């Protein structure tokens, strides 16, 4: 195990479970100080107890700017700096037909998935710019790079996260602050379990289902996303900014083989013709 983040301070929103929790563990493994920011107090407190003295829990609702700002200030007060900001908090949000989505459902979904990221970027930047260094990371989705892979408002917001990442990266580059995103594919987590089985604790069935649909033949796990986030936050990615790292087993590149590549070779022509 390396100590790539020894003495660095990392704030992760939505850190109490799933991708956020595994990312917190990995940063802690490599020497980081952690602020676990989440509305799930019991799970967040348990994670902090698991990690130990290097972690602190703070209850944060990412749609409340004052709370995001306070979390950033808490990180600096506790550990002296903020070196990595991970905007991870999210929900599935509004589902169903565009014709039936209500304004209230739209507003809450967009507030959490896009406004929450905006607040995280804004308040991380105000600390990182004077430092002259830092890494801001945000969770998009494969639904943010193509259509048909998520509910409408979720997809729109995840596209928005990528756009905001590129735009903020262009401003922050002059200050030595890198801004990147990760776009996960189907990952085994309480959220995907709830969507797939109706039971957020049924991770085993969820893993089986995701694995069956994966081009690589196995399910993506939170650790797979965590490792991507650690790479982007590390000095190994010092020349990377404004980038969205897609971690999806090749799903969005069409990596699942076409039946036309697995049948007997030859050439199909118009009107049923065969051969060259």
Return the active site residues. Answer: 154
d(C-alpha 27, C-alpha 23), whole Å:
6
Strands 55-59 and 177-184: unpaired
The string of DSSP codes covering 102-113 is -HHHHHHHHIII
Strands 134-139 and 177-184: parallel
d(C-alpha 215, C-alpha 249), whole Å:
6
The string of DSSP codes covering 35-51 is EEEES-HHHHHHHHHHH
d(C-alpha 258, C-alpha 196), whole Å:
25
Give the 3-state secondary structure of residue 264: coil
Q: What is the b/e burial string over 168-200, where b = at least 16 CB atoms within 10 angstroms of the residue's CB?
A: bbeebeeeebbbbbbbbbbbbbbbbbebbeeeb
d(C-alpha 26, C-alpha 134), whole Å:
18
d(C-alpha 184, C-alpha 177), whole Å:
23
Q: How far is CA 131 from CA 33, 128, 178, 180, in A?
A: 17, 5, 13, 18
Give the 3-state secondary structure of residue 235: helix
């Amino acid at each position: 195990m390396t100590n790539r983040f020894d003495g660095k301070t990392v704030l992760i929103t939505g850190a109490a479970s799933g991708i956020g929790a595994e990312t917190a563990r990995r940063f802690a493994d490599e020497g980081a100080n952690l602020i676990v920011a989440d509305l799930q107090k019991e799970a967040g407190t348990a994670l902090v107890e698991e990690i130990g003295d290097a972690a602190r829990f703070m209850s944060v609702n990412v749609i409340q700017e004052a709370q995001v700002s306070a979390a950033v200030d808490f990180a600096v007060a506790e550990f002296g700096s903020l070196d990595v900001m991970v905007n991870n908090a999210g929900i599935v949000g509004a589902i169903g037909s565009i014709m039936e989505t209500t304004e209230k459902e739209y507003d809450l979904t967009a507030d959490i998935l896009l406004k929450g990221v905006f607040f995280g970027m804004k308040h991380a930047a105000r600390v990182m710019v004077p430092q002259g260094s830092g890494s801001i990371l945000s969770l998009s989705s494969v639904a943010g790079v193509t259509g048909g892979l998520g509910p409408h408002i979720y997809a729109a917001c995840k596209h928005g996260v990528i756009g905001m990442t590129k735009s903020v990266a262009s401003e922050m580059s002059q200050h030595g602050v890198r801004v990147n995103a990760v776009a996960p594919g189907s990952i085994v987590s309480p959220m995907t379990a709830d969507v797939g089985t109706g039971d957020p604790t049924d991770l085993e069935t969820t893993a089986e289902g995701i694995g069956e649909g994966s081009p690589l033949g196995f399910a993506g796990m939170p650790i797979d996303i965590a490792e991507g986030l650690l790479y982007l936050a590390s000095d190994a990615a010092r020349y990377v900014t404004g980038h969205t790292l897609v971690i999806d087993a090749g799903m969005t590149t069409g990596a699942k083989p076409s039946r036309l590549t697995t049948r007997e070779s030859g050439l199909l022509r118009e009107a049923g013709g065969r051969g060259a």
